[in-house]
Amino acid sequence: MRLSQYFMPTLRENPAEAEVISHKLLLRAGFIRKSASGVYTYLPLAQRVLKKIMQIIREEMDRQGGQELMLPILQPAELWLETGRWHVYGPELFKLKDRHNRDFCLGPTHEEIITDLVRREVRSYKELPLLLYQIQNKYRDEKRPRFGLMRGREFIMKDLYSFDRDEEGLEISYRKMYEAYTNVFTRCGLKFRAVEADAGAIGGSTTHEFMVLANSGEAVVAYCPDDNCGYAANLEKAETKFIPEVIGTPAQIQKVATPNVKTVDEVAAFLKVEKKQILKSVLFKADDGYVLAVVRGDREVNEVKVKNQVDCLVLELASPQEVEEVLGAEYGSIGPVGVEIPVIADLEVKHVLNAVAGANETGYHLIGVNPERDFSPAVKYADIRLVEEGEPCPKCGKALVFARGIEVGQIFKLKDKYSRKMGAFYLDENGQQKPIIMGCYGIGVTRTMAAAVEQNHDEDGIIWPAAIAPFEIIVVPVSNKDEQQMKMAEEVYNLLLNAGFEVVIDDRDERPGVKFKDADLIGIPLRITVGKRTVNEGVYEVKIRRTREEKVFQKEELVDGLRQLLKTL
């Protein structure tokens, strides 16, 4: 490929609208353009990267026995009404009508469509297991599309669905996908971690997220530094290792005035107590009811853990007005003593024997609170707090380490959630009808491309891992005016093409500085400079994008030398 003809519109300035580095660099380097909010055009450079990622995914899915198919993007409302998800997802679904006024949506995911297919076609245990997948555009009308390719409204996803006879079969399919995903992200040259996650709205038990590690990631993962232990979970899921710490000795409960003292820090300063002696109370609205979560003042509430303790569909923070209505006080003065709504307290709370808590009267706190004595007997104690870095690993006790990551893959056990709702049954060896046991497994393809940039860049631009780089090598003649340089550049370009490399030549009539800057920006792993030294001494300077290291090769050494180098990048 010749850069003089290549459709690669680069930008000199950083685009103002881009909030994250991958968005900035992919725009600047001419990989993507925005078409509408959360909708992007992938230019030739991006298409090459995406095709490589998709090829790796296809090979790894096929290796595990996956069969590729293509499901419709346009999906009839009837199927979504069967599972109830037409209304659950509401405005996030892109809905449309055909000329007969029939309702459709653009597929945000394909559980309904594929379960419909399988319930019609699969009859017997002999036809199971099945692993079916596709790579396709997905549509989600996000409230706030953000961060470029990270949260688009149209994006590419690989989605695979497994169909098994029973849970043992599902376990095997799940492990196959875990292995496939590990291979995919390893082959893409990305640093990543598989972490336990909360199944949340999807339901089911076990779930793992595959996180590309990057400081800009939105998600926090907690992991054990000991590879033999291997514990890793996202922050919402990460369990705490409960170590009872008795704080204080029982005292008489008393109400004290704490005017304008609201936050835990203010209470600690005003009453001259340690933060861990204070009880922090947070009111949640759980469907139509309320629940009060209580943790020690030096801890934070983990909303996901609270939700798992409460039998409800939606759990959200109560508004200041709701706090007033339910507890009769402002947020800074609420507490668990004497309330009529359900109270869930963290395991540690029970051991604060002389605690400070809001009095449910604005401007007042209670001191000398003893949970066992003063809370309603209906209180429930559970792990509902966020784990902190350095706390003991719940599995082996070593100090946990935190890292930031970007979720690029997720694997779920759906079990019979969809097959029961939609009537996807099979007949077993004894002629008995049973629900098909399902799993679903997704990789965000366009998000993986963006995550690769978030993880691999420097101040000059992108640094593609060789396996997913748009080109492996860029040949740069320093001066287009120098006929000898141009001739030698063309020669080496053809030599490398014939040797099977993915190579591009920068034959544009630009100053060398511009060419070098663009090569760095686009992020091609290896750059070969053809300049005076090449003409005079017959040597080729090879610059490694990632390390900025320069190596010098004779023409005869070039093909082998580049092949070796690329293996390491």
Would you tell me which residues interact with ligand 9G3 (CB under 6 A)? 85, 89, 92-93, 108-109, 140, 159, 202, 410, 440-442
CB of 146 to ligand 9G3, least distance (A): 15
Min dist. Cβ of residue 442 to ligand 9G3 (A): 3
Euclidean distance between CA atoms 190 and 184, whole angstroms:
9
Distance CA 458, CA 399 (A): 31
* Backbone φ/ψ region at 440: left (φ over 0), alpha (ψ -120 to 50), beta: beta
Asked if 400 contacts 223 with a C-beta cutoff of 8 angstroms, the reply is yes
d(CA 174, CA 164): 11
* Closest approach of ligand 9G3 to the CB of residue 57, in Å: 13
Q: Kindly state the smallest distance separating residue 95's Cβ from ligand 9G3, in Å.
A: 10
Q: How far is the CB of 156 from ligand 9G3 (least distance, A)?
A: 12
Which of residues 92 and 166 has its CB atom nearest to ligand 9G3 in the complex?
Answer: 92
Q: Which is nearer to ligand 9G3, 150 or 565 (CB)?
A: 150
In the bound complex, what is the minimum distance in angstroms from residue 355's beta carbon to ligand 9G3? 40
CB of 249 to ligand 9G3, least distance (A): 50
103/300 with CB nearer ligand 9G3: 103
Considering the complex, state which of residue 109 and residue 173 has its C-beta at the smaller distance from ligand 9G3: 109
Task: Choose between 53 and 291: whose C-beta lies nearer to ligand 9G3.
Answer: 53
The answer to whether residues 356 and 278 touch, using CB atoms and an 8 Å cutoff, is yes
Question: Please, what is the minimum distance in Å from the beta carbon of residue 115 to ligand 9G3?
Answer: 11
Tell me whether residue 152 or residue 442 sits nearer to ligand 9G3 (CB atom). Answer: 442
How far apart CA 20 and CA 150 sit, in angstroms, is 9
Nearer to ligand 9G3, 78 or 389 (CB): 78
Q: Please report which residue ranges of 331-482 form alpha helices under DSSP H.
A: 371-374, 417-422, 445-455
> Least distance from C-beta 40 to ligand 9G3, angstroms?
19
Are the CB atoms for 32 and 41 separated by under 8 Å? Answer: yes
Least distance between ligand 9G3 and beta carbon 449 (Å) = 18
What span, in angstroms and rounded, lies between the C-alpha atoms of 467 and 472?
8
- 8 A C-beta contact, residue 341 and residue 323: no
Q: Where are the alpha helices (DSSP H) in 441-552?
A: 445-455, 483-498, 512-522, 532-537
Q: How far apart are CA 53 and CA 468, in angstroms?
A: 6
Measured CA to CA, the distance from residue 168 to residue 566 in angstroms comes to 41
Alpha-carbon distance 477 to 481, whole Å?
Answer: 10
Residue closer to ligand 9G3 by CB (options 140, 385) is 140
The 3-state DSSP class for residue 150 equals helix
Instruction: Enumerate residues 6+ apart whose C-beta is below 8 A from 371.
Output: 336, 345, 349, 350, 352, 353, 355, 379
Cβ nearer to ligand 9G3, comparing 315 with 476? 315
The CA distance from 62 to 99, in Å, is 39
Question: Which of 371, 389, 391 is CA-nearest to residue 381?
Answer: 371
Which of these, 518, 551, 525, 377, lies nearest to 3 by C-alpha position? 518
Complex with ligand 9G3: residue 140 or 457, whichever CB lies closer: 140
Taking CB atoms, the residue at the shortest distance from ligand 9G3 is 442
